[in-house]
C-alpha cells in the first residue's frame, strides 16, 4: 500500500494528514486557483493560475507530486491539461492533453498510479482518458462510461476503484472502475436524487460523497468497499450546484463554491468520521461556480 501525505503520531496511532486543497477556474472563464492549507484551512491564491481562463473543467491529483485541471470551456471546448507541481505549485501544460476538446469533465485518481478524466459536452461521448503517472502518458479506456453524461462528478477509493456519478440530465447513475484493470460496473443503488453538475470528494479508504443540486442540499455517502448508500443527516449549508470537491485525506472533505443562478464564495467542511458540517470563515476569493477541485494529500 502507498501511504501519502504526512504521517502524524497520536494516542490513537498514525493518521494521514493532507497538505492542501485547490479550487481552479470557473464561470465566467476564470484562471484563478484558490489554495486552502490543511489543517488551518487558510486561503491563498496562486501567483500562477490556469494557463487560460476556463469554466466547467475537471480535477485530479498525483498526491505529493502534482495536481491537474483538465478540459473546460472558454469560447470553445478545450483539451488543455494544466499541471501544478507540489509543493511549489509551479504550472506547466501537458504536451498531450485530452483525447478531444471537452467541458463538463470530472476526474478521479488511483493514488500515484494514474489519473482519469471522464469527458463531457456530447450526447454520444462516453470516453474516459487515463494519464499514467509520473510520465503523464495518455490512453483511453476500452470501456468508458455506461452512458454519455456531461457534468458528472468523480471520487475514488484510492488503490481500489474510481467512481463517476450523476450528470445531466439529472442522472442517478454511478459507474465504478476497478483498479488496476479499469473494468467498469454500475452500482445497483445509485444517487438518492438525480444530480446535474455534481461534485465529489472522499474520506480516503472509507467513503465517497456526492453533492450538488439545483433544488436541494442532499449529500449522498457511499461506504467502501460495499458501496452501500446513505444520505447525510446534515447536508450542504445552502442549495448549490456546480461546486468543487476536495479532501484532507481521512480528516475532512470540502464542497466549495457553486450556486443556482450565480456563484458563491461558500466552502462547506465535513469533518471525518462524524461528518459534522461547518462553513469556513474565509471562503473563496470570489463568487465561483462551474469550478473544479483537487488535493495534495
Band of the pLDDT at 149, cuts 50, 70, 90? Answer: confident
Please report, rounded to a whole number, the percentage of residues in the chain having pLDDT higher than 90. 85
Give the tens place of pLDDT for each residue, 71-112: 999 999 999 999 999 999 999 999 999 999 999 999 999 999
Entry pTM: 0.94
Averaged pLDDT score across all residues of the chain: 93
Diameter over CA atoms, the chain: 54
Inform me whether the pLDDT recorded for 50 exceeds 80. yes
What pLDDT, on a 0 to 100 scale, did the predictor assign at position 2? 39
The mean per-residue pLDDT over the stretch 197-211 comes to 96
Parallel, antiparallel, or unpaired: how do β-strands 81-85 and 42-45 relate? Answer: unpaired
Inform me whether the pLDDT recorded for 27 exceeds 70. yes
What pLDDT, on a 0 to 100 scale, did the predictor assign at position 195? 82
Residue whose grid cell is 473543467: 57
The mean per-residue pLDDT over the stretch 35-48 comes to 98
Band of the pLDDT at 7, cuts 50, 70, 90? Answer: very low
What pLDDT, on a 0 to 100 scale, did the predictor assign at position 168? 79
Q: What is the DSSP string of 89-151?
A: TEEEE-SS--SS-BSS-EEEEETTTEEEEE--S-SS---EEEEETTTTEEEE-SS--SS--BT
What pLDDT, on a 0 to 100 scale, did the predictor assign at position 10? 34
User: For domain 22-296, is the CATH number 2.120.10.80?
Assistant: yes
Helix (H, G, I), strand (E, B) or coil at 22: strand
CB 297 within 8 A of CB 5: yes
Domain boundaries, the chain: 22-296
What pLDDT, on a 0 to 100 scale, did the predictor assign at position 213? 86
Please report, rounded to a whole number, the percentage of residues in the chain having pLDDT higher than 70. 94
What pLDDT, on a 0 to 100 scale, did the predictor assign at position 214? 82
Inform me whether the pLDDT recorded for 17 exceeds 70. no
Measure the CA–CA gap between 120 and 1, rounded to whole angstroms.
Answer: 32
| Range in 45-54, 164-173, 196-205 with the lowest mean pLDDT | 164-173
| Range in 28-32, 169-173, 259-263 with the lowest mean pLDDT | 169-173
Query: Edge-to-edge, what's the strand order for the sheet holding 90-93?
Result: 58-62, 66-70, 81-85, 90-93
Inform me whether the pLDDT recorded for 169 exceeds 80. no
Query: What's the CA angle centered on 65, arms 108 and 142, to 5 degrees?
Result: 35
Amino acid at each position: 500500500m502507498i501511504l501519502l501525505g504526512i504521517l502524524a503520531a497520536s494516542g490513537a496511532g498514525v493518521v494521514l494528514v493532507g497538505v492542501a486543497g485547490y479550487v481552479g477556474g470557473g464561470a465566467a472563464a476564470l484562471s484563478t486557483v484558490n489554495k486552502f492549507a490543511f489543517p488551518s484551512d487558510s486561503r491563498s491564491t496562486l501567483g500562477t493560475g490556469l494557463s487560460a481562463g476556463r469554466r466547467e473543467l475537471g480535477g485530479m491529483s498525483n498526491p505529493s507530486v502534482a495536481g491537474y485541471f483538465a478540459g473546460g470551456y472558454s469560447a470553445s471546448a478545450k483539451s488543455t491539461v494544466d499541471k501544478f507541481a507540489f509543493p511549489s505549485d509551479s504550472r506547466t501544460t501537458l504536451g498531450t492533453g485530452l483525447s478531444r476538446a471537452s467541458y463538463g469533465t470530472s476526474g478521479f485518481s488511483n493514488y500515484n498510479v494514474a489519473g482519469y478524466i471522464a469527458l463531457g459536452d456530447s450526447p454520444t461521448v462516453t470516453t474516459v482518458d487515463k494519464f499514467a503517472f509520473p510520465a503523464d502518458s495518455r490512453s483511453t479506456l476500452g470501456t468508458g462510461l455506461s452512458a454519455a453524461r456531461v457534468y458528472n462528478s468523480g471520487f475514488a477509493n484510492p488503490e481500489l476503484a474510481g467512481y463517476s456519478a450523476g450528470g445531466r440530465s439529472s442522472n442517478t447513475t454511478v459507474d465504478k472502475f476497478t483498479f488496476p484493470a479499469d473494468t467498469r460496473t454500475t452500482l445497483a443503488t445509485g444517487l438518492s436524487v438525480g444530480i446535474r453538475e455534481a461534485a465529489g470528494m472522499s474520506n480516503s479508504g472509507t467513503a465517497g460523497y456526492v453533492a450538488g443540486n439545483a433544488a436541494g442540499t442532499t449529500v449522498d455517502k457511499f461506504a467502501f468497499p460495499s458501496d452501500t448508500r446513505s444520505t447525510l443527516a446534515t447536508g450542504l449549508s445552502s442549495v448549490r450546484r456546480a461546486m468543487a470537491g476536495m479532501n484532507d485525506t481521512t480528516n475532512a472533505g470540502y464542497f466549495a463554491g457553486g450556486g443556482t443562478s450565480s456563484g458563491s464564495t461558500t466552502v462547506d467542511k465535513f469533518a471525518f468520521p462524524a461528518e459534522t458540517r461547518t462553513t469556513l470563515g474565509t471562503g473563496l476569493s470570489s463568487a465561483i461556480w462551474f469550478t473544479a477541485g483537487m488535493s495534495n494529500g
